[in-house]
Amino acid sequence: MRILILLALLSSMHAAFGQGSISGELKLWHKVTIDFEGPQVAEDDENNPFFNYRLNVEFTHAGSGKTYLVPGYFAADGNAGETSATSGNVWRVHFAPDEVGEWSYSVDFRKGNWTAVSEKKATGVSGEYMDGAKGTFSIVPTDKTGFDFRSKGRLSYVGKHYLQFEGTGEYFLKQGPDAPENLLSYADFDGTFHNDNHKDEMVKTWEPHLKDWKENDPVWKGGKGKALIGALNYLHAKGLNSVSFLTLNIVGDDQNVFPYVDYDHYDRFDVSKLDQWEMVFAHAQKLGLFLHFKTAEVENQGLLDNGGVGAFRKLYYRELIARFGHHLALNWNLGEEVGDWVKNHKTPPQFKYQRLAMAQYFYDHDPYNHHIVIHNGNPFDDLLGPESKLTGPSVQTSKPDFSQVHGSVIKWRKKSAEAGKPWAVAVDEPGDAQHSLLPDAENPTHDNARKNALWGAMMAGAWGVEWYFGYKHAHSDLTCEDWRSRDLFWDQCKYALDFFNNNEIPFWEMDTADELISADNYCFAKTDQIYLVYLKNGGTVDLDLSKASGEYSLKWFNPRTGEYHKKEEKVTAGELVKITAPKKSEEDWAAILKK
> Which residues, 6+ apart, have CB-to-CB distance to 279 below 8 Å?
81, 218, 220, 225
pLDDT in tens, 494-542: 999 999 999 999 999 999 999 999 889 999 999 999 999 999 999 999 9
pLDDT at 17 (0 to 100): 43
Same domain, 502 and 522: no
527: nearest Cα among 548, 546, 509: 548
Q: Look at residue 457 and tell me if it is in a domain.
A: yes
Full-model pTM: 0.96
Q: Is 115 left (phi over 0), alpha (psi -120 to 50) or beta?
A: alpha
Residues 322 and 422 reside in one and the same domain: yes
Give kind and range of the element (H or E) at residue 470. Answer: none
Q: Domain of 518: which CATH number?
A: 2.60.40
Inside any domain, residue 480? yes
Distance CA 297, CA 471 (A): 16
Residues 115, 193, single domain; the answer is: no
Give the DSSP H or E segment for 519.
none
Residue 262 lies in a domain: yes
Q: Is 148 helix (H, G, I), strand (E, B) or coil?
A: coil
The CATH number of residue 130's host domain is 2.60.40.10
3-class secondary structure per residue, 265-308: CCCCECHHHHHHHHHHHHHHHHCCCEEEEECCCHHHCCCCHHHC
Task: Tell me if 191 sits within 8 A of 133, measured CB to CB.
Answer: no
Same domain, 517 and 500: no
292-320: average pLDDT: 98
* Whether residue 20 is found in the same domain as residue 111: yes
- Edge-to-edge strands of the sheet including 371-375? 174-177, 464-467, 426-429, 392-396, 371-375, 330-333, 290-294, 242-246
Shared domain for 478 and 533, answered yes or no, is: no
Close Cβ partners of 197 (under 8 Å, ≥ 6 residues apart): none
Percent residues over pLDDT 90 in the chain: 93
Q: Specify whether 448 is located in the same domain as 559.
A: no
Q: Is the pLDDT of residue 569 over 60?
A: yes
Mark which of 507, 542, 564 sits at the end of a domain.
507
5 is a domain residue: no
pLDDT per position as a tens digit, 387-439: 999 999 999 999 999 999 999 999 999 999 999 999 999 999 999 999 999 99
Q: Per residue in 79-105, pLDDT tens?
A: 999 999 999 999 999 999 999 999 999
Kindly report the average pLDDT of the chain as a whole number. Answer: 95
Provide the domain count of the chain. 3
- Residue 494 sits in the same domain as residue 530: no
Q: Which domain holds residue 46?
A: 14-139
Which pLDDT score, from 0 to 100, does residue 8 have?
35
The enclosing domain of 205 has a CATH number of 3.20.20.80
What number of other Cβ atoms are within 10 A of residue 539's Cβ?
Answer: 17
- Residue 211: predicted pLDDT: 98
Question: Sign of torsion, CA 510 512 516 517?
Answer: positive
Co-location of 206 and 243 in the same domain: yes
Tell me how far apart the alpha carbons of residues 535 and 94 are, in angstroms, rounded to a whole number: 48
Of the residues 490, 507, 524, the one at which a domain ends: 507
Question: Within a domain: residue 296?
Answer: yes
* Whole-number pLDDT of residue 126: 73
Buried/exposed 323-351: b ≥16 CB within 10 Å, e otherwise = bbbbbbbbbbbbbbbbbeeeeebebebbe
Residue 461: closest CA among 529, 520, 399, 393? 393
Q: Is the pLDDT of residue 182 over 80?
A: yes
Query: How many CB atoms lie under 10 A from the CB of residue 128?
Result: 15
pLDDT at 1: 40
Query: pLDDT tier at 25 (50, 70, 90 boundaries)?
Result: very high
Does 211 map to a domain?
Answer: yes
My answer on whether 133 and 188 are in the same domain is no
Residues 206 and 336 in one domain: yes
CA 386/CA 379 separation, integer angstroms: 17
- Is residue 84, in this structure, part of any structural domain at all? yes
DSSP conformation class of 27? B
Report if residue 144 sits inside a domain.
no
Which range among 13-17, 185-189, 229-233, 451-455 shows the weakest confidence by mean pLDDT? Answer: 13-17
List Cα–Cα distances, 141 to 25, 101, 144, 288, in angstroms: 10, 9, 9, 19
Residue 293's φ and ψ, nearest 5 degrees, are: -80, 115
Spell out the residues 6+ positions from residue 82 whose beta carbon is closer than 8 angstroms to its own: 220, 221
What is the rounded CA–CA span in Å between residue 16 and residue 528? 65
The backbone torsions φ and ψ at residue 519, rounded to the nearest 5 degrees and listed phi first, read: -55, 150
Helix (H), strand (E) at residue 139: strand 134-139
Q: What is the DSSP string of 163-227?
A: EEETTT--B--EEEE---TTTT-BTTS-SSGGGSSSSGGG-B--GGGGGG--TT---BTTTBTHH
pLDDT at position 123 is 66
Q: CA of 316: how far to CAs of 101, 264, 328, 346, in Å?
A: 33, 14, 20, 20
Residues 500 and 550 in one domain: no
Taking 90 as the threshold, does the pLDDT of residue 19 lie above it? no
Looking at residue 179, its pLDDT comes to: 98
- 3-class SS of residue 26: coil
Burial class (CB in 10 A: 0-12, 13-18, 19+), 220: buried
